Amino acid sequence: MASALRKDIELLDIYDRAKREQNGPTRVRILAIASLLEGKNREHAAKIAGMSVSNLHVWIRRFNEYGLEGLITKKKLGKKSTWTCECEQFLKGKALEGARFEAHKRVTYRLEDFRAMIEEKFGICYGISTIWYKLEELDLSWISVRQQHPKSDPVVQDEYKKTPNSIREIQAQHPTKKIEVWFQDEARVGQHGTLTRRWAQKRSRPRALCDFRFESAHIFGAICPASKKALALVFSQIGSIEMDLFLTEISKSLSLNAHAVIIMDRAPWHKSVTVPHNITILYLPPYSPELNPVEQVWDYLRSNYLSNRVYETINDVFDA
């Protein structure tokens, strides 16, 4: 038997509430009740609300019991989440700690590894996609790592960060000169090039040109970020003679009131050179190429200009 409709609420008040209601499903329920109060049949009211007549009867009962508040869509509570702060801290700790091959027989954790560790510790089984979203919520991302030589010494690298003190000492030795800090390095560019990333359709693996010959050239480059200056020379080989020529070019490019401090690695051809009078050399700590910002220049050139190409002759390499 159909429930009778309460009539103690004014029709104008019902329409006014419908106008102010921002939730769509709640609004159409209010309009369905209004149509019933206007004398329309229940099939017509159900059509307005986009529901079946039997479902309309449920909302009529809620309206009769609670008034217009009974027509509001209530948030579904659902099952209480099993994800706790303890799970969160465990996952973040494991992700930041990373895997060690000696102990875990792998060099990095996979999503499947995180899932298995959480299940073993907390007895909760999450899906792979859930683990991914949880890592994102923790502000963690799957990113490329920076290189680190196995023989690098963190203590020596920290000491190197006091380089500004060394530069101030050089400034004291040349009080009338403007000190320019340059960073120098070399890069090999050859026929046997590198491949880089590119945009492509998902689940595909596009091809890119790659040569397997070994003719190459060497770029001697230096940058001065403060003055936005850069200089480069290309040679067919690498050694002390080429380094002397490059330092001479840097020396010529300096203004009369400038003195350059050039920071470079400890390659053998860097230590057997003739240093011009307006240049001082500071060496990087051993096995620490990541401390030289010129490495980023080489990465940029290889990613955007020098990769995925074929050089027919050594002259083509020079022209690149």
Q: Considering only CA atoms, which of 50, 67, 74, 53 is closest in space to residue 5? A: 67
Q: Which two tokens stand for residue 256?
A: 């009369």
Instruction: Report the C-alpha dihedral over residues 296, 298, 301, 303, rounded to 10 degrees.
Output: -70
Predicted confidence at residue 143, as pLDDT, reads 80
Element (H, E) at 22: none
pTM for this predicted structure: 0.56
Tell me, what's the pLDDT at 316?
66
> What integer pLDDT is reported at residue 287 of this predicted model?
87
CA distance 107 to 104: 8
**Structure confidence at residue 304 (pLDDT):** 79
Residue 209's identity, in one-letter code, is L
Output the pLDDT for position 98: 87
- Looking at residue 22, its pLDDT comes to 87
Quick one: tokens of 248? 């001479």
- What is the pLDDT, as a whole number, of residue 213? 67
Q: What is the pLDDT of residue 311?
A: 61
User: Which of 195, 234, 192, 230 is closest to 213 using CA atoms?
Assistant: 192
Residues of the chain with pLDDT under 70: 1-3, 76-78, 146-147, 191-198, 200, 208-214, 307-320
How does DSSP assign 73-142, residue by residue? PPPP--SPP---HHHHHHHHHHHHH---HHHHSSSS--HHHHHHHHHHHH-----HHHHHHHHHHTT---
Q: What angle do CA 229, 230, 232 make, to 5 degrees?
A: 160
pLDDT of residue 80: 78
pLDDT number for residue 196: 65
Report how far apart, in Å, the C-alpha atoms of 258 and of each of 171, 178, 250, 290 are: 11, 5, 11, 27
In this prediction, residue 175 carries a pLDDT of 93
